[in-house]
Amino acid sequence: MQLEKIYEPGRFEPHWAQWWIETGMFHAVPKPGKYFSLVIPPPNVTGSLHMGHMLDHALIDMAVRWHRMSGDNTLWVPGTDHAGIATQMVVERELAKEGITRQQLGREEFVKRCWKWKEIYQKRIDDQMKRLGSSCDWERERFTFDPGLSRAVREAFVRLYEKGLIYRGEYMVNWCPRCNTAISDLETVHTTTQGHLWYIRYPYAGGTIVVATTRPETMLGDTAVAIHPEDARYASLHGRTVTLPLMDREIPVILDQLVDPKFGTGIVKVTPAHDANDFEMGKRHKLPFIKVIDESAAMTPAAGRFSGLDRFEARKQVVAELRQLGLIEKIEPYTLSLAVCDRCKTPVEPLVSTQWFVKMKPLAKPAIDAVDDGRIQFIPANWTTTYHHWMDNIRDWCVSRQLWWGHRIPAWYCDDCHQLTVSREDPTHCSHCQSGSIRQETDVLDTWFSSGLWPFSTLGWPDDTEDLRAFYPTTLLVTGFDILFFWVARMIFLGLEMTGEVPFRQVHLHGLVRDPEGQKMSKTKGNVIDPLTVNEQYGTDAVRLSLVQGAASGMDISFTPDRMDASRAFANKIWNAARFIFMKMEAAGVEPRIPSSPALACLEDRWIHNRLQNAIATMNSSLEQHRYHEAADAIYHFIWDDFCDWYIELKKLRMRDGSGYDDNWRDLLFVFEHALRLLHPIMPFITEELWQRLRNADSPLSIALTNYPSADLSRLDPSADSSMATLQAIITAARTLRAELVPGNVSALPATLYTHGASSQVVTAAREAIERLGNVKLTLEQGSTPHLGGAVRSTPEFDLVLHLPAADTNALRTRLEKEIEQLHKAATNSERQLSNDEFVRKAPEQIVTNIRAKLADYKAQLAKSRATLEALGQ
RNA sequence: GGGCCUGUAGCUCAGUUGGUUAGAGCGCUACCUUGACACGGUAGAGGUCACAGAUUCGAGUUCUGUCAGGCCCACCA
């Protein structure tokens, strides 16, 4: 039973991690009654887990373990996401190393490669999760692309299509020329870039006009110029045409409200095929759409002699030619916000193309209502505003991607009648003309379409399964705020549409894990921290505690080694408390057993019991309210300060080797075992390891299956708190005097303790404790007049006089002066408050009374200290 | 252009309904290797709570404004 001096988490954590899984104790069985269910934000199979995942999983696992121990039928569904475009990119990158492209490989072979990749990384992710002690139900592991979930995707798509909420059409989309696919608005990021504003002359019969543009190359596709209808400067242009330079095309001058007369020259070139605004204008004014840039960002034949050039090369040449022709009026530097592909940072090309869209307005309404009426609650609540803002202004969702890795859209084109067949099952013929000549759409769905179904597709939807009935809607979602729109919002509207219910009742959005300098961790910056490395270095428990403590208010957390050191020290502290307990048990001949109730025989027992009940109450309410750092703080200080620094120190004085099992053991073990259970959701490994050494024969298999403590406030003993406070104050007074006046002196010094009123009894009973912990040899006196020959510390309850071996008068005087100064300051403060009539009249009586009492104390102590100082001077 | 967040000890951060002398961890100073633990113990030093107003008997906490930093959304060529 001997424990090592230093806790080595690496020796125990892998064992318990594996054992928890082998026993299958986290498998949830559907049954009626109170449940707690949660689905994992499925990590992408693109790679292994990073610190962000670890934070997420630490928070989830804490909630899950707490609910499980609290008696809820608890399910945590694990799984991974196929992550369409992201995975396709990494697999393509792998292929590039072999010198092949996916086109060379062909679609079928490429998808096989993706699956192979998925197998490797899913296993890696699973192993990492298991090593972190995540208490999920591995029997229910899911993948967004597995057969069951793919069926859910089809069902959802077909339902939306049948309801008219999915349409196909030619629209302006964000096109990434590198990924060679359309992407949604969310998948673009806007970066401020230094560019130019080119002022170009367009000649017309009456002279020239000047337009300003940031993208001169798109002029090749201009089909109009636009002015504001009320712009008096250009009234003469109404109804005229201008000549498009380089192309020698006559294009009309149109009037449109969208033009801002104050920007540039007030005249804007209109390129309906390559700008979202111009696209709208083009439709309004029935302009021709001339596509001059293609899907690979090269100029099309419609660009005439510029055909085949890359768009940026074309820009240079267009500008050069215009300059030669004297058509450039001026060039200004200009800061613009450039849309680039979120994945590869290539500038997005707005292109008109045929894509599939989800109609958002009808879906957004119920999703907004669900949050407004509180069926879904955001934590922290201020995310509600952000969610609202986005949902209120939502645009249709482009869900088709020109990729290979993903759910292929279940639509078939008929070569004969050119109609569409959208179907749950693969059709053999066209549903319109019965022709057998049909081809399936080659596009796949946006990866977020399948993850949007995750909370119910993982539970068996669209079938009416036992799991759905027992665990849906899920209780809580824990995820980073960065995927609020991508994922959370989509789950909400898809959940409501598909199941008629919210997918979850609460959403806890946490921050990002940053490096010690507060920088976002990224592979390119090279500042990513591998969870495995830190877990080996500090222990998973310690890292979990650090993350939980840091995840206070949903803000980002800086991952600093200092914090980890402190957490590791805490694990070591617990370990050594256990080491002491086990050593003493052995010496006393006590067998491990968990008592069912405390004995409460001594003052420190009654006191620690109070503290324990407080800690229990705080833990439960903090966890309930998602105030995780508060919970972590409560158990940390209970164990370290109350239990180790005071309780064990006091108990040491009562423990006699060979004494056998007595009341001291009963309380010590009772409290310690409770502390382990309280801590278990945050630090599962060390608590399991130590609890197993204590467990009774009839205990549950694992601490994870025990009941979470609930506060029993009926047995609180307030008198124990005040007695203990007095005791602590006396001991602290002795230590303070010693430290300030005789530093380095290790011998027990004589001291006289004068007690007044109730404290006398406490002191008599705790005499040994005071002497041992305060390192003094006590003489006890009663009464209010202290002996004035030594270092004095006065409080309303007692006066402690420390008799110094060779009294250093100067030191004593300094000490007294300091005390007088502090008391004087406090007294003045109180007096000032009490002299304020309005305060006395309006403040709660309790507060005023307290201040009056304190003032009286300060004055009495001041008088004593001053008298002592005077006596010293003589 | 809109929206959100942050500014408290040298550093990283707590501080729920306004209320008695503003806390923690790390770091720092002094002392202690005491039979659980030096990843420890004890005692300390250190803060005009970014700034300016307002409300109030009372503001780190509420309101307004300013400054500084961060993030998100947005069709201004």
pLDDT (tens digit per residue) in A574-611:
999 999 999 999 898 888 889 999 999 999 999 999 99
Q: Label residue A874 by pLDDT band (50, 70, 90).
A: low
Q: Which residue is nearest to nucleotide B26 (CA to C1')?
A: A562
pLDDT at A616 over 70: yes
Q: What is the DSSP letter of A512?
A: -
What mean pLDDT do residues A240-267 have?
A: 87
How far: A87 CA to B68 C1' (Å)? Answer: 41
pLDDT at A1: 58
Evaluate if the CB of A393 falls below 7 Å from strand B. Answer: yes
Which residue is it, tokens 């009374």?
A: A849
Residue A785 has pLDDT above 70, yes or no: no
Which residues are CB-contacts of A479 (< 8 A; sequence separation ≥ 6)?
A: A41, A56, A487, A488, A507, A508, A509, A510
For A421, counting Cβ atoms within 10 Å of its Cβ (0-12 exposed, 13-18 middle, 19+ buried), the class is middle
A389 touches strand B (CB under 7 A): yes
The pLDDT of residue A789 is 65
Bond into A473 cis (ω within 30): yes
pLDDT of residue A806: 65
Distance CA A166, CA A345 (A): 29
For residue A432, the SS3 value is coil
Nucleotide nearest to A728 (CA to C1'): B42
Query: CA at A386, C1' at B66: how many angstroms apart?
Result: 26
Percent of chain A scored above 90 by pLDDT? 52
* C-alpha R_g of chain A: 37
A262 burial (CB, 10 Å; 0-12 / 13-18 / 19+) is: exposed
List, in sequence order, every residue forming a beta bridge with A168; answer none if it has no partner: A356
Nucleotide B18: nearest residue by CA–C1'? A843
Whether the CB of A826 is less than 7 Å away from nucleic strand B comes out as yes
Q: What is the pLDDT of residue A63?
A: 95
DSSP A289: -
Distance A733 CA to B33 C1' (A): 24
A 515-534: CB within 7 Å of strand B: 518
pLDDT digits (tens, 9 = 90+) for A15-29: 999 999 999 999 999
More confident residue, A701 or A841: A701
Q: How far, in Å, CA of A869 to CA of A160, rounded? A: 88
Neighbour tally for A336: CB within 10 Å: 15
* Nearest nucleotide over every DNA/RNA strand to the A268 CA, judged by C1': B77
Distance from residue A551's CA to nucleotide B51's C1', rounded to whole Å: 29
- pLDDT tens column, A171-198: 999 999 988 899 988 889 888 888 888 9
Indicate if CB(A748) is under 7 A from strand B: no
A653: CB within 7 A of chain B nucleic strand: no
Output the CA torsion A414→A418→A423→A429 (10° steps): -30
What pLDDT shows up at residue A28? 94
- Tell me how far CA of residue A588 lies from CA of A219, A575, A843, A857, in angstroms: 93, 20, 56, 46
Name the nucleotide nearest A334; use CA and C1'.
Answer: B77
Residue A787 has pLDDT above 60, yes or no: no
A711-755 pLDDT tens trace = 987 778 888 998 999 999 999 999 998 888 888 888 888 888 888
CA of A850 to C1' of B56 (A): 21
Strand spans (E) along A187-248: 188-204, 207-213, 224-227, 241-244
Q: Report the half-sphere exposure of A318 (CA within 13 A, side-chain side).
A: 29
Q: Estimate in Å the CA A378 to C1' B21 gap, whole number.
A: 38
Q: Which of residues 188-207 of A touch strand B (CB under 7 A)?
A: 189-190
Scan residues 262-281 of chain A and list those with Cβ within 7 Å of strand B: 263-264, 266, 268-269, 275-277
Helices (H), A476-594: 490-499, 531-538, 540-550, 561-588
Residue with nearest Cα to nucleotide B36 C1'? A580
Distance CA A378, CA A509 (A): 7
Query: Could you give the CA distance from residue A386 to residue A509 in angstroms, rounded to a whole number?
Result: 12
Residue A144 reports pLDDT greater than 90 = yes
> For strand B, is any atom closer than 7 Å to the CB of A2?
no
pLDDT tens digits for range A639-697? 999 999 999 999 999 988 878 888 999 999 999 999 999 999 999 999 999 999 999 99
A854 touches strand B (CB under 7 A): yes
The answer to whether the beta carbon of residue A833 comes closer than 7 angstroms to any atom of strand B is yes
- Three-state DSSP class for A407? coil
Which of chain A's residues 31-90 bind strand B, using a 7 Å CB cutoff?
none
- Nucleic strand B within 7 A of Cβ A510: no
C1' of B59 to CA of A332 (Å): 51
Q: Is the CB of A382 under 7 A from strand B?
A: yes
- A385-CA/B66-C1' distance, Å: 25
CA of A561 to C1' of B11 (A): 12
Helix (H, G, I), strand (E, B) or coil at A657: coil
Q: Report whether A429 contacts A439 (CB < 8 A).
A: no
Q: Round to a whole number and report the distance in Å from the CA of A650 to the C1' of B43.
A: 20
Which of the nucleotides lies closest to A3 (Cα–C1')? B36
In degrees, rounded to 5, the angle at the alpha carbon of residue A219 between the alpha carbons of residues A213 and A225 is 75
Q: Is the pLDDT of residue A700 over 60?
A: yes
Of A574, A541, A569, the closest CA to residue A675 belongs to A574
Strand B, CB < 7 A, residues 541-570 of A: 550, 552-553, 555-558, 560, 562-563, 565-566, 568-569
Q: Give the CA A871 to C1' B77 distance in Å.
A: 89
Between CA A21 and C1' B60 the distance (Å) reads 47
Q: In this structure, is the CB of residue A856 within 7 Å of any atom belonging to strand B? A: no
Nucleotide with the nearest C1' to A621 CA: B16
Answer for A27: CB within 7 Å of strand B: no
Q: Is the pLDDT of residue A808 over 70?
A: no
Q: How far is the CA of A672 from the C1' of B61 (A)?
A: 37
- How long is the CA A612 to C1' B71 vector, in angstroms? 41
Residue type, A184: S
Measured CA to CA, the distance from residue A180 to residue A594 in angstroms comes to: 65
- How far is residue A770 CA from its own chain's centroid? 47
Ranges A60-69, A737-746, A807-816, most confident: A60-69
Is residue A705 scored above 90 in pLDDT? yes
Residue A298 φ then ψ, to 5°: -105, 155
- Can you give the pTM of this predicted structure? 0.92
Nearest nucleotide (C1') to the CA of residue A260?
Answer: B76
Least confident span in A66-70, A216-220, A360-364, A521-525: A521-525
Looking at per-residue confidence, does A796 or A622 come out higher? A622
**Of all residues in chain A, what percent carry a pLDDT higher than 70?**
98
Mean pLDDT of chain A: 89
Tokens found for residue A799: 């006066």
Q: Which nucleotide is nearest to A560 (CA to C1')?
A: B12
- CA–CA separation, A78 and A810 (whole Å): 69
**Ramachandran area for residue A286 (φ above 0: left; ψ -120 to 50: alpha; else beta):** left
State how far the Cα of A376 lies from the Cα of A386, in Å rounded to an integer: 14
Distance CA A138, CA A652 (A): 45
Out of A251-260, A311-320, A855-864, pick the least confident: A855-864
Q: In this structure, what DSSP letter does residue A602 have?
A: S
pLDDT of residue A850: 84
Check whether residue A847 has its CB closer than 7 Å to nucleic acid strand B: yes
**pLDDT above 90 (res A229):** no
| Of residues A459, A490, A499, A434, the one with CA closest to residue A149 | A459
Helix-helix angle A13-22:A684-694, to 10 degrees: 80
Q: Which nucleotides of chain B have an atom under 7 angstroms from any protein CB? A: 2-6, 11-15, 19-21, 24-27, 30-33, 36-44, 57-58, 72-77
Q: Is the CB of A536 under 7 A from strand B?
A: no
Side-chain half-sphere CA neighbours of A477 within 13 A: 29
Q: And the tokens for A796?
A: 């309303």
Q: In whole angstroms, what is the distance from residue A81 CA to residue A121 CA?
A: 11
Nucleotide closest in space to A565 (CA vs C1'): B39
Residue type for A19, please? W
User: Which tens digit of pLDDT belongs to each residue from A398-441?
Assistant: 999 999 999 999 999 998 888 889 999 999 888 888 877 889 99
pLDDT value of position A807 = 59
Cα A63-A64-A70 angle, rounded to 5 deg: 90
Scanning every strand, the nucleotide with its C1' closest to A227's CA turns out to be B77
Q: How far is the CA of A465 from the C1' of B12 (A)?
A: 48
User: Distance, angstroms, CA A552 to C1' B13?
Assistant: 9
Nearest nucleotide by C1' from A195 CA? B77
- pLDDT at position A454 is 97
Yes or no: say if A706 and A677 are a contact pair by the CB < 8 Å rule.
yes
Q: What six digits make up the tokens of A862?
A: 């001041």
**Nearest Cα to Cα of residue A248 among A304, A313, A326:** A304
| Selected residue with higher pLDDT from A530 and A634 | A634
Is the C-beta of residue A231 closer than 7 Å to nucleic acid chain B? no
pLDDT higher than threshold 80 for residue A805: no
ipTM of the complex: 0.95
Residues of A 669-728 whose CB lies less than 7 Å from any atom of strand B:
none
Q: Does the CB of A483 fall within 7 Å of any strand B atom?
A: no
Per the structure, the residue whose CA is closest to nucleotide B27 at C1' is A562
The residue that minimises its CA distance to C1' of B42 is A735
